Structure formats: C-alpha cells, structure tokens
Chain A
Amino acid sequence: MPDTFQPRIVGFCCKYCAYAAADLAGSMRLSYPASIKIIQVPCTGRVDVIHVLRALEEGVDGVMIAGCLEGECHFLEGNLKARKRITQVKALLKRIGMDPDRVEMFNLSSAMGPRFAEISQEMARRIQDLGPSPIPGEKPKGRAA
C-alpha cells in the first residue's frame, strides 16, 4: 500500500497571493504535486475551523492553507486570523487523536512561484511520511486501483 499511496491534499489558496503564485509556478514550468487540489478563497481569513475539519472528514490526507505574507493581507489581517484558527485546529486534532501535522499554514506572495512549488512538495512529502488519513473517506473515482 505505502508504495502506491497518493496523498490527497486540499490547498486553500488566497487569490491575491498563493493562487497567483500557483499560476506563476505553472507558467514557469515548475512542477508541483498533482495531488494538491487547490481551492481558491478570497482571503485565508475566509477559511474557518469547520472547513478544515470537513475536508478531513471527507478523507483527505492533508490540508494546507496558503495566504499572503504577514502584514501584506489584502484585507489587512485575514491571514493573521487564519493562522489563529489553524493553530486552534491543530490543537483540536491533537486532542481527538489525529496528527496535527496533517494541517499547515503557509505565507507567501503572488511573485513567489518557486516558493509555491516548494511548499507543495514539502506538504506532499510530509503527508507521504504520515501515510494515509485514518478516516475511511470516499476515494476519488477512477483512481482507485
């Protein structure tokens, strides 16, 4: 199993930075893991605790939240609020017996295409090491062997 394990990661990406950086990474022909499913959000401040929990309930193996550099949020401090919520999620996961490392928050700017590729690879590697989520969750169609 571990050999064929393809981590499924949801990436909540702010449209002002991480989403644009992902675009840039593509234009620059930088490869990043295809297992990351990007969800564009208007700001990471829009991401609430429940969104992360729901994703995990669906059976994804990891969740990354990527927002603007601190101090550069388009909405001033949405990314700071997101960080607090992610801290809360990680604490909650620990208490219910799930590895908090399955969830991580990153900060970057729209010009950081290579950095986006880097954090995606880092997250994919981390989840690869952690192995599949203990949540049975529905596996994506057409990919199950």
Chain B
Amino acid sequence: MIIAKQKPIEEIISEITPYKRILILGCNECVTVCEAGGKKEVEVLASALRLHYMTKGQGKTFGEATLERQCDREYLEEIRGDMDDYDAVVSLACGVGVQFAAETYTATPLLPGVDTVCLGANEARGVWAERCQACGSCVLARTGGICPVARCAKRVMNGPCGGSANGKCELGPDTDCAWQLIIDRLNSLNRLGDYDVVAPVKDWSSDRAGGPRTVTREDVSI
C-alpha cells in the first residue's frame, strides 16, 4: 500500500489561512490502513482545527467526508453536490488522491493534509516500512525476493557495499543491510550461486528517469 504520514497541524493551519469553509476529505484505502487519512483521522483533524479556531475566536467551518477512494473519479463525484459549500479542501489521501481530486474539482483549492512517504507494508503495530520504489522493471527474481532498489540506501545492484556491518547499513543500526538480507535469503533457498552473476547496468528508463509513467492496455480499454 501507499504509506503516508500526517502533516504537522501547524502546516495545515498555515495553508488554510485564506479560506473560511474547509472540507477535510479522507480516503478509505491505503491511508486508512496506515492511519494517516481515514475517517478517524478526518474526525480528529477537523475537531482539532475547530478547537484551534474557536480558541482564537475565528469563525472557520470544517466539513468532514471520507470517500471509498480518491484515486477514482467515480467516487470523487459523490461530493460534487457539496463542493459549493467549501472554499478549500484538505485531502488526507496520498499524492495521487490529492491530484485526482484537484483534477476533478478545478475551481476549488486542494491542499494536502499528509505527506506521501513510500510503497510499503505494516511491519508491526505503528511501524510502516518501504518495500518498493516502483522502478518499473522488477529484479526480485534475481535477488531472493528482497529489493536492492528500495531497501539499499545506494541502490547497489551488486552489493553489499563496504559499509555493511553486522547485518546493518552504514546509515545506522535502524536500517537493515538489504544485501545481507538478500544473501541470507539466497542461502536459505540454497541459491547462493545466483550471487555470482553480475547484475548488468540497469535500465532506469522505466523508473522516474523516464518521465511520468503510463500503463495503457488496449484489451481492457473501452
């Protein structure tokens, strides 16, 4: 899923300064699972903002809504009727949702309420960690199912680098060395021989380097 984290409320307060009627818009997908932008977070943010402006005696109003998905025009349509009631929307969806909402409601300012962090998974209660960088050409078959692009700080395709120590990255003890994980995994699969193959220079044109990426499929288009 897409991992996001809530922006500091001070930043949101500063962004909404010019507006009076604000909709806090949540999303039921990834940001709900990573507890950054679901219904619950919408309630808390709206309530906290109300308290803030009531304390200061400033009359701003905050509406609340949470859509099934913000990365889907069909669901975004559900709030079309309410949009006239708002001067701005703070979207708690990932960057994709914020942009899709902005594309749908061109006359209303769309402000991000979260920072989109990475593609990852829930490692433990309260811990979400990156697993994929969407490089566009997956190498996991050759690396024991552990991604050197997402999990090595230097994206080393033939690792580990000289900074690997005791299974940890040179960045520090909080980061596992991806190549230690790869080698352990190849070992347990009895495939350490795979390590001897030099990974060739990678084609990054399917990564960010190639510009915005699009997948087009004739067979499923209408």
Interface centre among B8, B9, B50, B55 (most CB of A within 10 A): B55
In angstroms, how far is the closest chain A Cβ from the Cβ of B201? 48
* B50 contact set on A, CB distance < 8 A: 57
Whether B47 and A135, one on each chain, are in contact in the complex, defined by CB atoms closer than 8 angstroms, is no
In angstroms, how far is the closest chain A Cβ from the Cβ of B70? 21
In angstroms, how far is the closest chain A Cβ from the Cβ of B24? 13
In angstroms, how far is the closest chain B Cβ from the Cβ of A61? 13
Residue in B closest to A48 when the chains form the complex, CB atoms: B40
- Known contacts A57-B50, A96-B9, A96-B49, A135 near B55 by CB under 8 Å: yes
Interface size class of A (residues with CB under 8 A): 10 to 19
* B74 contact set on A, CB distance < 8 A: none
Count of interface residues, chain B, beta-carbon cutoff 8 Å: 17
* B170 contact set on A, CB distance < 8 A: none
- Interface residues in B41-72 by Cβ distance below 8 A to A read 43-44, 47-52, 54-57
Instruction: Choose one: A53, A57, A92, A97; the contact of B56 (CB below 8 Å).
Output: A97
- Interface residues in A38-61 by Cβ distance below 8 A to B read 48-50, 53-54, 56-57
Residue in B closest to A136 when the chains form the complex, CB atoms: B54
Residue in A closest to B126 when the chains form the complex, CB atoms: A84
Instruction: Choose one: B8, B10, B47, B55; the contact of A53 (CB below 8 Å).
Output: B47
* A71 contact set on B, CB distance < 8 A: none
6 closest residue pairs by CB, A with B: A96-B52, A53-B47, A134-B55, A135-B54, A50-B43, A97-B55
Chain B residues within CB distance 8 Å of chain A: 8-10, 13, 40, 43-44, 47-52, 54-57
